[in-house]
Amino acid sequence: MADRGLLLDIGGVVIRTPFELLATAEAHRQLSPGTLGGRGPFDPEGDPDFGEVARGTLTERAYWQRRAEQVAPHLGTEPETRSMMLALFALPHERLVRPETVRLADKARATGRPVGFLTNDLADFHGDEWLRTMPILDGGARVVDGSLTGFLKPDPRAYERGASALGLPPEQVVFVDDQPMNIEGARTFGLVTVWFDVRDPQGSVDRVWTALTE
């Protein structure tokens, strides 16, 4: 059994970000490119609200609620986060899950490393029916969801539950997230951390594997 385990954020790391699905939603609804607005890390200058998230002055939940209100007239959804997410993520799972991350998780398990998931808003944002379409998150997966525990990253109690799900002390857990404030919280708690750059999935996965095996 290898020493280190792998603890993955889900949104952005395991599944693609909503930003990566906006163009598909626009095309499907015959909307002009850019109609649905901000692209987050893919166009930070054009999305000042996302800059607030990166600086820690706006929560992810508040950001997505704001975005849900902005896109509702174009998507025909309710002005709330889950309604927006269900519209954007109504695609086959193979178009939503990052193949690079799936291969990483499979490789980690094959080499004896425990794999788990630590997310803030999975159930709240997507709901149980959608989750059943994601094989990587099936009933046997070790998923710690802040929607259910009440402890959201970067609360240290979220990281404590993530490490406990793997059965490892913090210093033996490699934690991967696309939000810098969550990475900083994990580092402060004592986890080994790797920031996941959603603009470079394969490079990010390579850095994770190095952290797991060094």
Distance separating alpha carbons of residues 78 and 98, to the nearest angstrom: 28
Q: What is the pLDDT of residue 139?
A: 65
Residues 162 and 182 in one domain: yes
Residues 22 and 82 in one domain: yes
Contacts of 110 (CB under 8 A, 6+ apart): none
Q: What letter would DSSP give residue 38? A: -
Contacts of 7 (CB under 8 A, 6+ apart): 115, 116, 117, 118, 162, 163, 165, 166, 173, 174, 175, 176, 191
Please determine, for residue 1, whether its predicted confidence score (pLDDT) is greater than 60.
Answer: no
Residues 115 and 103 in one domain: yes
Q: What is the pLDDT of residue 2?
A: 62
Range of the domain at 144: 5-16+97-213
Please determine, for residue 126, whether its predicted confidence score (pLDDT) is greater than 90.
Answer: yes
- The residues pairing with 119 across neighbouring beta strands, listed in sequence order, are 145
Last residue of a domain, one of 78, 93, 108: 93
Tokens, residue 7:
């603890």
Residues 81 and 108 in one domain: no
Residues 151 and 188 in one domain: yes
Could you report the per-residue pLDDT of 55-64, keeping only the tens digit for each?
Answer: 889 999 999 9
Last residue of a domain, one of 73, 93, 113: 93
Residues 109 and 192 in one domain: yes
Number of domains in the chain: 2
Last residue of a domain, one of 43, 75, 93: 93
Q: What phi, psi does 97 have (nearest 5°)?
A: -85, 140
- The residues pairing with 193 across neighbouring beta strands, listed in sequence order, are 175
Q: What is the pLDDT of residue 132?
A: 84
pTM of structure:
0.94
Residues 81 and 161 in one domain: no
Could you report the per-residue pLDDT of 57-89, keeping only the tens digit for each?
Answer: 999 999 999 999 999 999 999 999 999 999 999
Residues 84 and 110 in one domain: no
What are the Cα distances from residue 156, in Å, to 64, 194, 200, 208?
A: 23, 17, 28, 21
Residues 74 and 150 in one domain: no
Average confidence score pLDDT of the chain: 94
Identity of the amino acid at 124:
D
Residues 33 and 75 in one domain: yes
Residue in the structure block whose two tokens are 């394969």: 202
Residues 112 and 34 in one domain: no
- Asked if 3 and 171 touch (Cβ cutoff 8 Å), the reply is no
Preceding peptide of 79 cis, ω within 30°: no
Identity of the amino acid at 176:
V
Return the percentage of the chain with pLDDT > 90, whole number.
Answer: 90
Could you report the per-residue pLDDT of 184-194, keeping only the tens digit for each?
Answer: 999 999 999 99
Please determine, for residue 166, whether its predicted confidence score (pLDDT) is greater than 90.
Answer: yes
Could you report the per-residue pLDDT of 38-55, keeping only the tens digit for each?
Answer: 999 999 999 999 999 988
